[in-house]
A and B are shown apart, each in its own frame.
Chain A
């Protein structure tokens, strides 16, 4: 179900690394993904998966100097922005791509009233728009009472702050909203409200969304397509239902089983042995090999390319086993 229309975001074979004190960290290695207009795409991964670095790279929000894009391209609305300078990033942020993060308190100005921050955002995109009605409209859109415009961020509850951050993000009429763990810090009931709000916003505004989360439940109920990341690589992707119902990559299978948080027939909890990968160490072959129950010799030597699974519909897995299955061994 990929793209008939040109994708609003397209990442092609991106490679990204950080220079840390104890070595180079390969945060993102050969990642390709696309978001079609109006589509909700999920990016799932745990610590060290590179998902947050990827999100920040799209808007040039990586720490300068320490991070380097080593290869690949980022295209926003068909335009190559990979080598963009700070000025160009400034122009792109907000429109067509906006971003919201996990902790609104860190990303809202604590000494500025909410209404003014929303106004700032609106004015960036459209300096001549009538401000007052637009602020009212945005607050109503995120279901915040109009009185919140006069409040400071710390005076609002966690859920309301996240809504305020959304209002600021929407001020620029984005075509794509990147949401990096938007509900992780919220209670489960508040989370449900915010997720419902995001769904509604997307439908009303025709806005695409890239939702990044470690919570599989959140991604499953919100996104039409998902990408699973491990150690800086996308290892499986496809339509949500396909990936959840017929996971092909051993990591996805393990992750989905663990996410059930349920005991199996022998009373044990599903888990993946070992620990999350160390990204400073150079990896030959598949980074999941040390923890994989189905590992072959080939896995340690060569990183598998993407194979189509039996589902079709763009459901792919980067696993040598998938190739086996497809050939019917």
Chain B
């Protein structure tokens, strides 16, 4: 299927609905660049959707609009049936917590002056004192940072890149979200460790039923991690459909060019 995708994916209730989103920015020279042009996208409960594109495709902007960090010029954002773009600021503050981000740069994702305990404390402020600490340790160990207690007094810059990314995931799930929007979550991680992050995300989805919108330029990851994919080019969605199908046998010429450009890693017979 090419073009828009306003209809809910089969078999799942719509969780996130982006309807008719458009956004333009004025560049410093005065010219206007259309980052997103009339895009519609739906994600079902517990689903994993990949948003694939190159730089300038508008995928990051769309992600930020979905997180209500940028107000679209036109269009609406709905989460679990509630229209977020029409809420007041105060109402939005409450409603948005069910949707959490994981950003690309683990280094810039944390206030450098706060300890891990404080950072998670911000996400767990609905709990008090002892409960908060217990939950923080719990969530740290859930993402593989063990022993959780040892991490609490540390600062983010003391952790390695992989650990920081896990911390970002920990903060996201501490809010107990129904949707996590991840913008290039694997860019900072080494190849041999990416699998750890992906497996962790898989496990969390199996446990908690959280849905993912993964924004990435990595086609191989999109193909194997997501169940559905939307391909963006210059602000528009040019093709959507089941990840495996679209990224193996694409229809749209841009998607075809994209797939063809990825250098293949030869596979081997794992005999050793």
Interface of A toward B, CB cutoff 8 Å? 46-47, 158, 187-189, 191-192, 195, 214-218, 220-222, 241, 244-248, 250, 253-263, 267-273, 275-276, 321, 325
Contacts and interface: CB of A to CB of B under 8 A. Distances in A.
B55 interface: yes
Q: Which 3 A-B pairs have the closest CB atoms?
A: A271-B195, A217-B263, A269-B195
Interface stretch (B76-84, B129-137, B264-272): B264-272
A247 B265 CA distance: 13
Interface in B22-78: 54-55
Contacts of B223: 261-262
B194 A187 contact: no
A47 B260 CA distance: 28
Residue among A221, A258, A272 having the largest count of chain B Cβ atoms under 10 Å: A258
B8 interface: no
Interface string B174-211: 00000000000000001111111011001000000000
A250 B263 CA distance: 23
A189 B56 CA distance: 13
Interface stretch (B10-18, B113-121, B148-156, B213-221): B213-221
A257 B262 CA distance: 17
A273 B193 CA distance: 7
B261 interface: yes
Interface of B: 54-55, 160-163, 190-196, 198-199, 202, 217-221, 223-225, 257-258, 260-272
27 contacts: A188-B219, A188-B261, A188-B262, A191-B261, A217-B264, A220-B263, A221-B264, A241-B266, A244-B265, A244-B266, A246-B268, A246-B271, A248-B272, A256-B265, A257-B270, A261-B223, A262-B220, A268-B195, A268-B199, A268-B202, A275-B160, A275-B163, A276-B162, A276-B190, A276-B193, A321-B272, A325-B272
B54 A187 contact: yes
Contacts of A275: 160, 162-163, 193
Chain A's interface: helix, strand, loop or mixed, by majority? helix
B83 to A, nearest CB: 35
A230 to B, nearest CB: 10
Contact of A271 (B199, B217, B268): B199
Nearest to A44: B191
A214 B261 CA distance: 17
A245 B265 contact: no
A134 to B, nearest CB: 32
Contacts of B265: 216-217, 220, 244, 256, 259-260
A320 B202 CA distance: 35
Nearest to A249: B272
A255 B192 contact: yes
A272 B220 contact: no
B266 A245 contact: yes
Contacts of B267: 256, 260
Contact of A263 (B55, B224, B268): B224
Contact of A254 (B192, B219, B269): B192
A255 B193 CA distance: 9
B24 to A, nearest CB: 21
Given A189-B257, A216-B191, A260-B220, A47 B266 contact: no
Contacts of A215: 263
A268 B268 CA distance: 18
A241 B266 CA distance: 8
